[in-house]
Structure 1
Amino acid sequence: MATRPVMDDRYSAVAIAFHWTIALLVLVNLASGLGGDAVPALGALFPLHKAIGITVLLLTLGRIVWRLGHRSPPLPGSIPGWERAVAHATHWTLYGLLVLMPLSGWAMASNPERRRPLTWFGAFDLPYLPVSAAQAGMGYDVHGVLGWMMAALVLLHIAAALRHHLILHDRTLIRILPSAR
């Protein structure tokens, strides 16, 4: 009996598209958000930063709905239990950050005492959230902390993927690459 090629362990094309689109947008927003104070040219990107943040929120909600209806492929059997637990905790924490970061930024922009323009790539205005000035201020504080948490988890996620690919030589990274066959 012929053995079946190991392709059932790959993510679906939809999951891969969500992953890489959100990843690219998050990297752009981390650079413009965390680097905006240090590099004035990045600070000029804040209207784009906000539009990307709303896009990340919508894509993440779509990704979560997709994920609830489509299971992820199982992790390779060689991965120890503790590592599986860390991977699952990291992924769900990333999902939480992908929702909370844009919401805290949206709250910040919705400050009734200091409204900031809020458009989706200039195509249309977005509604402001019904928050008080105090809640918007809390959104500001939370957004900064979550940004650093996101940066740390993104680096951890990338390091883990590279460890699996370059050191452990397993298929963990290959499963999510768009063109890997």
Structure 2
Amino acid sequence: MILKNTDDRWGTVSQFLHWLIMVLILALGVVGLVMVELPKSPRWFWVYDLHKSIGLSVIALVALRLAWRLFAGTPRPVAGTPHWQERIASITHWMLYALMFAVPLSGWLYDSVSGLRPLRWFWLFKVPKLADPSQSLKPLVRDAHEWLFWALIALVLVHAAAAFYHHAVQRDATLTRMLPRRRGTPSSPASEIP
């Protein structure tokens, strides 16, 4: 098990953070779409609190992932990848990072301007408000949160489609180097191409 990234593949820490954040974003999306259909009653407040707590966790995990990326570096582009594809991949990754911060931050801001009861992260401690309550800002921030979410989902789908394209059509190691290595698999890049 290689914790740090190498020239040829993402290390275990990067892989773990990548897939954990992906699962949490999926969970946030499902809970977010379901919770707006629930009656706003004390019985269902725990669903809202769970959504908000997971969102705050995503902010921390994305910050940790960026810090790890700066510390551990990134793999080189897969051999033979055209420069324009490298450039688009780089822009896409940075847009994903920006949106992974923007969506939960806008949710936190929405919670703040809504003037709701204090938010507790997983019911453990109170989270400070980002702004004072504002009924005029509330719909604007709510809409921004929703549109940023859909932009993130669209970009995630493009990102996943590109990875599968590289795997199925280009038959290179773009996707497999973000997956855990199977036991007994040699560490050479050629072994990662199906």
TM-score, normalising length from structure 2?
0.79
Identity %: 39
Distance (whole Å) between structure 2 residues aligned to residue 64 and residue 11 of structure 1: 13
Report the counterpart of residue 95 of structure 1 in structure 2: 97
* Structure 1 position 32 matched with structure 2 position 31: yes
Secondary structure in 1 aligned to 2:20?
helix
Distance (whole Å) between structure 2 residues aligned to residue 115 and residue 21 of structure 1: 29
Gapped regions of structure 2 (runs ≥ 5): 1-5, 186-194
What value does the CA root-mean-square deviation take over the aligned residues?
2.1
What amino acid is aligned across from residue 124 of structure 1 in structure 2? F
Distance (whole Å) between structure 1 residues aligned to residue 155 and residue 33 of structure 2: 14
Gapped regions of structure 1 (runs ≥ 5): 1-6
* Structure 1 position 71 matched with structure 2 position 73: yes
* Contact 1:107–1:135 (Cα < 8 Å) also in 2: no
Q: Describe how 1:47-126 pairs up with structure 2 within 5 A.
A: 47-111=49-113, 114-126=115-127
* Structure 1 position 46 matched with structure 2 position 68: no
What amino acid is aligned across from residue 143 of structure 2 in structure 1? D
Deviation at 1:34, TM superposition (A): 3.7
Deviation at 1:51, TM superposition (A): 0.6
Report the counterpart of residue 190 of structure 2 in structure 1: none
Deviation at 1:136, TM superposition (A): 4.4
TM-score, normalising length from structure 1?
0.85
Which has the higher relative contact order, 1 or 2, with Cα contacts under 8 A spaced 6 or more apart? 1
Secondary structure in 2 aligned to 1:9?
coil
Deviation at 1:63, TM superposition (A): 1.0
Deviation at 1:71, TM superposition (A): 1.4
Q: Which of 147, 157, 174 is the equivalent residue of 1:145?
A: 147
Instruction: Work out the number of aligned pairs and report it.
Output: 171
Give a deviation string over 1:10-69, Cα, whole Å, max 9, x none.
11111111111111101111222245446x49xx53221111100000011111111122
